[in-house]
Structure 1
Amino acid sequence: MKKAAQALELILRSIPGDCYFNVVSFGSHHDSLFPKSQLYSETSLSKAIELAQSMTSNYGGTEIFDVLKWVFENSREDMPSSVFLITDGEVYNVEQVVELIREKEENKKDDLRVFSLGIGDSVSHNLVESVARAGRGYSQFVTNNERMDKKVIGMLKNALKPPIKDYKITWTDVDFSESTEKKEIPKEEDKPVISLYRDKTEPLSPPNNIFTDIKIRQAPYLIPPIYPGVRFIVYCILENNIKPRQVITLNATSQDGPMKLDISLDPVTLQGLKIHRLAARKLIQDLDDGNSFLHKHPKNSGKLIPASLVKEHIVDLGKTFNLISKHTRYK
């Protein structure tokens, strides 16, 4: 708890003077320093520093869903918000927390980002990384004996900058986005919905229009903001007989206008299976998160992707690249 309080104080002392801020303490319950975010001033800073310096582990267990829900519901609507989650614990409902963040982020688009800082040796890496990934921020970890100034200040600086966005990577010389093959979902998936209160049933619309002829599988499919000083990797698995470009092109949009970066392809990366396994693992993570090439492809916009189809893709990747997932295992 001492390390988390130090991180909070470091952030508080580094906030620019034209920002609004609030501090919410949480455990099995939560309390906010202010009812609403306050303009940074000597008075508001003094109250926040006093809170940080008096913090103790007296809030019980770690309950993050309710506190994040409160933060989102009470954030200012007239300006972008950056949320910093500082935790040294773990929770049982990571998926529920992630879904909450993803829903709020999609509603607010570029006006909300969530950053997470994991403290100590017992913190849940899955929680910290999943929260930041869903919130389009990034995560950092600090051990009990590690100086954290550089990581914390760097995270704050990146949170205050307008993100570079609208990334697009050109992997091949040919545009394969116009393929038209569709995946026929087995009829047994089209089961009626049975009401708990009525005997009538309503048939589901057959989900037989899911576009699956995706020859370029990128992960993450939706590239989050890329921040200075933070390593970020994008993987891609191409269908057999499709050759990548000799120079991969990254296009993006910044506050100063369009950006372009050409990256020469190193043929060595195409050899062996190590990179391929890393790519497949990231594809599986995207599929689990509901942000994959399957879920977010423009031709599947607004369509409900059946869980059976997601499982089919995960199993195929697991078998092909000998990976353990929630649907595959090896003895």
Structure 2
Amino acid sequence: MVNCGLVTNKNEPVPLKSIEVNLQTEGHVATVSSTLQYVNEEQGPVEALFVFPMPAEAAVCHFSAKIADQEVVAEVQEKEKARQLYDDALSSGEQAFLLEESEESTDVFRLSVGSLPPGQSAAVTFVYVTELSVQADHSLRFCLPAVLNPRYSPPGTSGGIVSEITPGSAQIPYSLSLTMNLSSPNPITAVKSQCPLEPLEFLNTDHTRAKVNLCAGHKFDRDVELFLYYQNPHQPTAVVEAGVPTAQPGSLMGDPVVMLSLYPEFPEAVVSEVSSCGEFVFVVDRSGSMSCPMRNGPNTEERITSARNTLLLLLKSLPMGCYFNIYGFGSRYESFFPKSVEYSQETMDQAVQRVKQMQADMGGTEILQPLKHIYSQPCIPNHPRQVFIFTDGEVGNTKEVLQLVGSNAESHRCFSFGIGEGASTALITGMAQEGSGHAQFITGTDRMQSKVMQSLRFALQPAVMDISEVWSVPEGMSVSLLSPPVKVLFSGQRALIYAQLKGEACKSSDCKGTITLQYRLADQHVTNTLSFSIKPAENTGLTIHRLAARSRIRSLEKEQQAEGGGKEELRARVVELSVQAGVSSSHTAFVAIHKGSGEAVKGPLLKRNVPVPMMCMAMACGAPRLMCMPVLRGGGDVALAADYIEFSSDDSTDDIDDPSDPLLQLISLQEASGCWEMESTLAQVFGKSMDEVAKQMPAEVEPGIWATVLALIWLHGFKMDAHDEWQFIAMKAASWIRSRKVVKLSECVLAANTVLQCQVKEEALGF
């Protein structure tokens, strides 16, 4: 095997020495500073290349490099100008650094390190700002990506930096230290992580400031996820940040900027309703990398296995009368049905049998073609289209995919799921944003089923229509919106809005502004109003200004892309705003030049990749069917020349019904209508024999009624910790029971509690 990364003449990797991360959170946003230390142990100078992942919603705002005792700080320049300065510096024998966003995906950055002399060490520091995403348990999530999977580029396309990435060693040869300082308007209650943390240290008596460290010795072989818990997490908040005194008045950096965190309150009557209409299209990645484990460690479920089990749950949870179809894709795609079919016992059984046979056997990751086919199908009247996309997110044509989803936003809602570590945040988050849906990331010990069912709840909610924002500020001031208009709202989900406050700012703490969010939901007109103080908060830095600039830059870039890359004035506005705010964009780059000896470099520089923790999919999966070759084409899916090596299926297919998981067994036995039949397999789920269950059945009660009541009692009595996963299954069952008009229902519930040794009350069952 050929080693990749920064290597010696003997093909031995030269590792990074250390990574130090400092994280500062302010409520819903964070500033992250990372310092990378490495050394050139080659006999001659090298030009090193370091590729690293970053959250798609982040914006780089600082880059500096320290060589020996001298530090150089980069400036944001128009991209071509920055590249020219970099090239000129190298040819003059000067040290140079170039940091730029990948042209293929906004969540990948490339750091080019110019002529680094032999034996010389360098410390590179970059700072970025990012929003923290809201989770189902109301926590805020921060993720430090460790894994950057190779991204698949379809045949005939030119692979850029994303698809140049080659797999690295499973051994991570450098240390990671991480310190997190928290600040919040509401008291901090906890910080949790699957990585070991030192105890949370509160820095004041009201617990609005705290500090926590990652335990020493952590191996950076997986994403570091931190979950922040605040009191009253859904309370709307507003933060006004002062501008830079030396900046030009009227410019974004010179004026105050407000960030509003809104949680729209949906009427309970609407939220409790579940639509029985809809066309549900499930699009499942079946590329070779889906045979990889969900996470590092022994006895870990494969991604494709988790996807199969999740599809089973979704199929059982769909409402009668809706329509559905399932697509599998890799370097080709196939659908279960020529077009979406009505949900019935027959079509559900057909789909379940095919789901059981799904394997990660379809080569590369080409998501564009199946999406084009789905969008070409006519929509079904009165059945809104909901597209669920499951992928490990390793594609090289992210921007093209997002443009396609966005151009079809009027005909569907898109719910996207990034499976396993290393999924592209730009792809997963971008598809949901463009398709007015919701994005989820399934990593670590997360169960895919619970996160997918949260999105199904959103999909079954009526769409919010006619959303408008109305601002009110003191006389002499005006508001310039920096965020794109809010176009999607779900119950319990947050909307972050940025706006520039222009004009003469009111100095009094009594000066107030308001924003009123109005929308129509299921024929009801809803109004939510938030009042906020105009007076800027103290010591907030420039995080909000930079995130606001990033939001505006992304909107301008999207507008330019929709114009086919034209509109030079849009490009000029992006460059101007990027340079002014000092944040990254697709049209700018950070460049730093260190004045060295002034002697021109003789001969070509050795170009080496600085190692980062990337997974070699075949080796990480332990797949004996495939050798890890030095020739790769992204996506974790190996190719020789233009031919794809597909993972071959075993002769036997594992049953989707995991015998070690009684919940999945119970779900697999449910009929499409919502009922269960009385059979020995169901009795085994309850830990009973068929005779034990049958002899306790009340007289004059049908076996199907008895079986369904037993199943509901068992779910409520033993599986409440997984309520999010089975809630729709239970709702279907309760609806079926109601339709049967059972005479002795209370007696039946009492007998079922006796059999299962539970104490579930009848009113809890939804009858």
Shorter-chain TM-score category?
Answer: 0.7 to 0.9
Q: Which has the higher helix share?
A: 1
Aligned counterpart for 2:374 among listed residues 71, 75, 92: 71
Q: Is the 8 A contact 1:10 1:152 kept in 2?
A: no
Structure 1 pair 25–60 and aligned structure 2 pair: CA distance change class (3 A) = same
Alignment match, 1:312 = 572
Within 5 Å, which residues of 2 pair with 1:118-133?
118-133=418-433
Structure 1 pair 174–312 and aligned structure 2 pair: CA distance change class (3 A) = farther
The count of aligned residue pairs is 280
Q: Output one character per residue of 1:216-239: Cα deviation in whole Å (capped at 9) or x when no partner.
A: 13312x312111233321222244
Residues in 2 aligned to 1:141 and 1:273: alpha-carbon distance in whole angstroms: 28
Q: Output one character per residue of 1:13-42: Cα deviation in whole Å (capped at 9) or x when no partner.
A: 211112100001101100000111111111
Within 5 Å, which residues of 2 pair with 1:24-103?
24-78=327-381, 79-103=383-407
Aligned counterpart for 1:287 among listed residues 544, 556, 567: 556
Deviation of residue 132 (structure 1)? 1.1
Alignment match, 2:481 = 217
Q: Output one character per residue of 1:60-101: Cα deviation in whole Å (capped at 9) or x when no partner.
A: 111111000111112534232111111113212122212222
Moved over 3 A (4+): 172-176, 238-245, 266-272, 303-306
Deviation of residue 10 (structure 1)? 2.3
Alignment match, 2:518 = 251
Alignment match, 1:210 = none
Structure 1 pair 248–27 and aligned structure 2 pair: CA distance change class (3 A) = same
Aligned counterpart for 1:323 among listed residues 583, 586, 608: 583
Aligned counterpart for 2:449 among listed residues 149, 161, 174: 149
| Structure 1 unaligned regions, length at least 5 | 177-213, 296-302
Q: Is the 8 A contact 1:72 1:104 kept in 2?
A: yes
Residues in 1 aligned to 2:389 and 2:543: alpha-carbon distance in whole angstroms: 33
Q: Output one character per residue of 1:296-315: Cα deviation in whole Å (capped at 9) or x when no partner.
A: xxxxxxx9995322222222
Residues in 1 aligned to 2:475 and 2:489: alpha-carbon distance in whole angstroms: 25
Deviation of residue 291 (structure 1)? 8.8
Q: Output one character per residue of 1:168-190: Cα deviation in whole Å (capped at 9) or x when no partner.
A: 222344899xxxxxxxxxxxxxx
Residues in 1 aligned to 2:389 and 2:475: alpha-carbon distance in whole angstroms: 40
Q: Is the 8 A contact 2:462 2:522 kept in 1?
A: yes
Structure 1 pair 304–65 and aligned structure 2 pair: CA distance change class (3 A) = closer
Greater relative contact order (CA < 8 Å, ≥ 6 in sequence): 2
Residues in 1 aligned to 2:505 and 2:575: alpha-carbon distance in whole angstroms: 23
Residues in 2 aligned to 1:65 and 1:26: alpha-carbon distance in whole angstroms: 10
Structure 1 pair 327–172 and aligned structure 2 pair: CA distance change class (3 A) = farther
Q: Does 1:227 align with 2:490?
A: yes
Alignment match, 1:211 = none
Structure 1 pair 63–306 and aligned structure 2 pair: CA distance change class (3 A) = closer
2:312 is matched by which residue type in structure 1? E
Deviation of residue 146 (structure 1)? 0.9
Residues in 2 aligned to 1:164 and 1:153: alpha-carbon distance in whole angstroms: 20
Alignment match, 1:265 = 532
Residues in 2 aligned to 1:33 and 1:58: alpha-carbon distance in whole angstroms: 16
Deviation of residue 141 (structure 1)? 0.7
1:320 is matched by which residue type in structure 2? Q
Larger radius of gyration: 2
Residues in 2 aligned to 1:5 and 1:264: alpha-carbon distance in whole angstroms: 47
Q: Structure 1 length as normaliser, TM-score?
A: 0.76
Alignment match, 2:263 = none
Aligned with 2:439: secondary structure? Answer: strand
Residues in 2 aligned to 1:269 and 1:316: alpha-carbon distance in whole angstroms: 27
Q: Is the 8 A contact 2:307 2:448 kept in 1?
A: no
Residues in 2 aligned to 1:246 and 1:46: alpha-carbon distance in whole angstroms: 57
Q: Is the 8 A contact 2:320 2:344 kept in 1?
A: yes
Q: Output one character per residue of 1:184-216: Cα deviation in whole Å (capped at 9) or x when no partner.
A: xxxxxxxxxxxxxxxxxxxxxxxxxxxxxx961
Deviation of residue 147 (structure 1)? 1.7
2:403 is matched by which residue type in structure 1? E
Residues in 1 aligned to 2:505 and 2:450: alpha-carbon distance in whole angstroms: 43
Deviation of residue 57 (structure 1)? 0.7
Q: Structure 2 length as normaliser, TM-score?
A: 0.34
Alignment match, 1:298 = none
Q: Is the 8 A contact 1:137 1:224 kept in 2?
A: no
Residues in 2 aligned to 1:103 and 1:175: alpha-carbon distance in whole angstroms: 40
Within 5 Å, which residues of 2 pair with 1:190-205?
none
Aligned with 1:46: secondary structure? Answer: helix
Deviation of residue 241 (structure 1)? 3.9
1:216 is matched by which residue type in structure 2? S
RMSD: 2.8
Q: Which has the higher strand share?
A: 2
Deviation of residue 250 (structure 1)? 1.2
Deviation of residue 153 (structure 1)? 0.9
Identity %: 32
